[in-house]
Structure 1
């Protein structure tokens, strides 16, 4: 393809559950895109069967090998790559290296804290020097909660964030695989006095009082999440702890047992064998695509208590369809980047790159979140 005619946005992993939703919202923004992945047949089938209105989209399907060289060739001439191929610590380096070589902005939907730490350390300065954005974790489970945190932090003097993220539904096949692999191979950190401190490995399930219900909900550190990494260089913030979960209590009670069994079964294995075994376990837990989200069933709650020596703020954002929120956030990032530079280049969160009010406005415009409920105590 002539590079001057290349479509400006590439969705890598477009045939997956989240990738399809990204394509759907790119169509709504009227953005031409390339749906890329390993199998042209799978990509074509996914576009035709799972992306509403695809017949009105300006897109093409491209099969590509997962190598830095092949990806660089595909990305050259484009402007933005939206990556949904995880686990990102395993499959992400080639994509990031290709983006740098092809001079493309990079976003992904990761929930892997170790991947964020690696990206910031190894690639952040290079992307910044090239004037490019490196924005991992642009997804409901991280960005919507970050919006709530940023709204709290508009009140000066608050330095501690206590974040809870909940959603209705079940993880996708890829998310389940990422959760298991990440839990087995990586530590989870929270932020304590500007230092990343490891969660106790045997912390188990936490019971949380979350807004909107009387029944306590079960939560986990969920790999530590993105927030402690994003906020550790924010001069306003010293401490960040995040707990998350699904509203399905039996599913939550089963997660620690599944992880413990997987760890025991793969003990002593080399990295490659362990990954294969964990992937097999993940497939036995979740091997079918979840149904398309229903806003009556797939609800979300993002709650942030922010505190300081003498002040308090609480922000809760009720929403629905967390995977759709992710698809929209990714598509809006492309929409924004095609028109002007981000607010910050190099390693940056969605809010740092695009503004929390701007992202909130998009989520509200598409009917995915309610007006935030913000309470400030002097």
Structure 2
């Protein structure tokens, strides 16, 4: 049973320790949980200022029973243990059993769709929040999309997310895990499957050079906006600025399609995990805001109008850590705007989340350009 209100599950990873850091800055007590208490202590001992945090360490098995026991008495789980399609259900069920809110940092569209279908109504029935995917790669772009949608009459979203840096071990494992899944965009409020080898040349706001972008597993945005009456069409693409990395991902996707998808599931998962580990087996250096930048760009359109929003940011993993910590901080004091399955913006408000990111110096003021008939009314 937890004696603290927030549980970080999977705290030893790159993002987990950032969540701990930002919970400390919000003065929120937490439990640092995972499979190896000794490893957790080693990791937390290296978190800046951790001696000022109110926390305890919990070693826990990855079972519904053990996680339910851990969550008794807690109010929020911030889950970092992925790939989530493989490990997420146990954590979600434990939160439901214990009456706790659930958030995670997943990058898996298939997990988002699965979580909504299997757990969304059950969480809503208990006035609990199920908010997978609160992370820079999704939430900051969602903020930009909602700023565009403040202009009425726009029903189509074209979303681009790019960042400088290299994925962590966990992110790399996730990227490879979604290569065997189908992924979708939204057209006429219906899911339409992307080609497994889809790619695009995209115009990057603020520079002359173009970049390569991929559907990146479909992203969370089509799922979040599917039942939004303002929106009918959503395409989202993303990736890293380094073209060589993106070209490598395209090549790997082709190999997966031809050689790994036909394998039995357990063999395919093993092959993908090995491939991911060969690319990123260690912990990347702490982000440098002069080097690790992000761009979230959203074009919104409708029959008679256009809007374009760009948010420049730094340190995408820090953005994720802060968003997770703020979600927990908020839930300890006030109910979300929506129960059940919800995005970060649906649960906490897009302008509120923008203000949080700006207050910590992680994103710039959004650049919003509107050209719409409705903008001239009044």
Give the shorter-chain TM-score range. over 0.9
Structure 1 position 92 matched with structure 2 position 88: yes
Could you tell me how far 1:129 is from its partner in structure 2? 0.3
Instruction: Choose from 141, 165, 170 the match for 1:145.
Output: 141
Superposed, 1:1-378 pairs within 5 Å as 6-49=3-46, 51-184=47-180, 186-203=181-198, 205-378=199-372
In structure 2, distance between residues paired with 1:277 and 1:199:
23
In structure 1, distance between residues paired with 2:190 and 2:161:
22
Find the residue that maps to 2:44 and give its secondary structure: helix
Instruction: Output one character per residue of 1:291-316: Cα deviation in whole Å (capped at 9) or x when no partner.
Output: 10000000000000000000000000
Could you tell me how far 1:260 is from its partner in structure 2? 2.5
TM-score (structure 2 length as normaliser):
0.97
In structure 2, distance between residues paired with 1:164 and 1:310:
22
Could you tell me how far 1:245 is from its partner in structure 2? 1.2
Could you tell me how far 1:276 is from its partner in structure 2? 1.5
In structure 1, distance between residues paired with 2:73 and 2:260:
43
Find the residue that maps to 1:163 and give its secondary structure: strand
TM-score (structure 1 length as normaliser):
0.97
Give the direction of change, closer, same or farther, for the CA distance of 1:376–1:268 in structure 2 (3 Å limit).
closer
In structure 1, distance between residues paired with 2:371 and 2:308:
9
In structure 1, distance between residues paired with 2:175 and 2:236:
16
Unaligned runs of 5+ in 1: none
Give the direction of change, closer, same or farther, for the CA distance of 1:258–1:202 in structure 2 (3 Å limit).
closer
Aligned residues between the structures: 372
Unaligned runs of 5+ in 2: 373-378
Q: Larger deviation: 100-109 or 265-274?
A: 265-274
Could you tell me how far 1:275 is from its partner in structure 2? 1.1
The runs of 4+ residues in structure 1 deviating greater than 6 Å are: none
Could you tell me how far 1:265 is from its partner in structure 2? 4.0
Indicate if the aligned counterparts of 1:363 and 1:369 stay in contact, CA closer than 8 A: yes
